[in-house]
């Protein structure tokens, strides 16, 4: 399985992923990045969205940017009584 890296980038800083995650392919890597966006939104709900995730395969292949604005914010769960 290929290994994908998820680098968090800000206009003036970056946190590089040095371990990566083995995933079945690019679609799974994109979904993983979207999940990371959701986790950041939950953990840092007051933070601006002036950052993005760069997804890389670590071998110089295709790189993709995942912007927080690209990932829908889930609507709150509505409980039925």
User: Residue 77: its pLDDT value, please?
Assistant: 60
Over residues 4-13, the pLDDT tens digits come to 999 999 999 9
Beta bridge partners of 13: 10
User: Residue 31: its pLDDT value, please?
Assistant: 93
Calpha distance 13→56 (Å, rounded): 17
Across 11-77, the runs of DSSP E, i.e. the strands, are 13-15, 21-22, 52-56, 63-66
User: Residue 55: its pLDDT value, please?
Assistant: 96
Give the pLDDT mean for 25-41.
93
Over residues 34-77, the pLDDT tens digits come to 999 999 988 988 888 899 999 999 887 778 888 888 888 766 66
What the block records as the tokens of 43 is 């953990």
Where do the domains of the chain lie?
3-70
Query: Which residue has 């990566």 as its token pair?
Result: 20
């Amino acid at each position: 399985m290929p290994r994908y890296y998820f680098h968090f980038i800000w206009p003036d800083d970056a946190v590089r992923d040095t371990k990566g995650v083995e995933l079945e392919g690019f679609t799974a890597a994109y979904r993983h990045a979207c999940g990371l966006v959701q986790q950041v939104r939950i953990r840092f709900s007051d933070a601006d969205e002036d950052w993005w995730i760069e997804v890389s395969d670590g071998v110089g292949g295709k790189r993709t940017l995942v912007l927080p604005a690209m990932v829908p914010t889930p609507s709150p769960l509505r409980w039925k009584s």
